[in-house]
Amino acid sequence: MLVLEVTVNGKRICIAGTEDLAVLHANVTACGKLGSQTVPSREDETVDIFYTVGGLTSRRKSETDVHVKWKSIEPLAVGDVVQIKILESPTADRAKSRKRANRESGK
């Protein structure tokens, strides 16, 4: 199966993947006043940098699909190094959380 090996500052965070995924993601997000010409929405606005690792299953019975998370909104700082390796592996770490996906039938 396809997996993502995620490390932050040289520390392995997880190997994310399951045999029934249709979506697998590792995201880094920065938001707030990121540049000198950014017009902040609030005067006290700060910069937030974080990462997440998750996915969405695609099963024969779609009513059993779930959103899975290996890492949920973890903060990062300027200078942190996030590395994502795309690998083939027969095993992966167990997801930390699973939440039922809301699928509307017929659409």
* pLDDT single digits (tens) 38-96: 888 888 888 999 999 999 999 888 788 999 999 999 999 999 999 999 999 999 999 99
Q: What total of structural domains would you count in the chain?
A: 1
- In this structure, is residue 42 part of a structural domain? yes
* Beta pairing partners, 51: 28, 74
* Beta pairing partners, 25: 54
Provide Rg for the chain, Cα atoms.
17
* pLDDT single digits (tens) 11-22: 999 999 999 999
CA 9, chain centre distance (Å): 17
Question: Range of 73's domain?
Answer: 2-98
* pLDDT single digits (tens) 71-84: 999 999 999 999 99
Task: Report how far residue 35's alpha carbon sits from residue 18's, in angstroms, rounded to the nearest whole number.
Answer: 38
Q: What is the pTM of this model?
A: 0.86
- In this structure, is residue 107 part of a structural domain? no
- In this structure, is residue 103 part of a structural domain? no
Bigger pLDDT: 44 vs 28: 28
